[in-house]
Amino acid sequence: MNRVEKILQKADALLDGHFLYTSGRHGAQYMQCAKVLQYPEHTEELAKKVAEDFADEQVDIVIAPAIGGIVWGYEVARALSANSIFAERENGKMTLRRGFDIPKNARVVVAEDVYTTGGTIREIIELVKTYDATLVGVSVIVDRTGGKMDLNTKAVAAYSMEIISYAPEECPLCKQGISITKPGSRTTSTT
């Protein structure tokens, strides 16, 4: 077991059961990265590990989606000596509020705690593009696709694993009558 796996295990971040993901898909495992983020020493260690891959990129800003990515984004920014900002969902769309701005040509890393479908990260990438900034890449604690996600940019994960998911109508856990749990912080449009 490597160091990152030990941290995830100590934090009890990998959950087993029947879960409804933000994407609307179902699965038997869920990675609750917020449980890792409660330990500042682990968050700092993982952020430094990921930041090593961006060390020569002269990153100006790390942007994260509220709420799950804020702590992670802050730690990655700190490791890169960059500014840390976050985007919030307003009227269903990610936007900058609270006086945050991305200067033209700023070098930006998008930070998220975890991704499965990449929906939120893609929204943040599109937001960065509207400011004529340079997207340097994406940093996550956990890539739940096992490295299969193509974001058309550099993507660095502290840990990568494949978590199998199913369309609700194809879910074997539903067919077995196992009750479903909706973890996470974002409301889904599918039930």
Summarised one tens digit per residue, pLDDT across range 65-86 is 998 899 999 999 999 999 999 9
All residues at 6 or more sequence positions from 187 whose CB lies less than 8 Å from its CB, including other chains: none
**DSSP collapsed to 3 states, 176-190:** CCCCCECCCCCCCCC
pLDDT reading at 190 higher than 80: no
Summarised one tens digit per residue, pLDDT across range 85-121 is 999 999 989 999 999 999 999 999 999 998 877 888 9
All residues at 6 or more sequence positions from 24 whose CB lies less than 8 Å from its CB, including other chains: 168, 188, 189, 190
CA distance 83 to 60: 6
* Closest of 62, 107, 109 to residue 86, by C-alpha: 62
Query: What is the predicted pLDDT for the residue at 149?
Result: 83
The C-alpha angle 29, 90, 73, rounded to 5 degrees, equals 55
For the whole model, what pTM was predicted?
0.84
Query: What is the predicted pLDDT for the residue at 150?
Result: 87
The size of the chain, in residues, is 191
Confidence of residue 189 (pLDDT cuts 50, 70, 90): very low
Q: Taking the CB of residue 88, how many other CB atoms lie within 10 A of it? A: 15
Summarised one tens digit per residue, pLDDT across range 144-184 is 888 888 899 999 999 998 888 899 999 999 999 999 999 86
pLDDT reading at 185 higher than 80: no
Buried-exposed string 140-150: b where 16+ CB fall within 10 A, e elsewhere: bbbbbbeeebe
Summarised one tens digit per residue, pLDDT across range 23-58 is 788 999 888 888 999 999 999 999 999 999 999 999
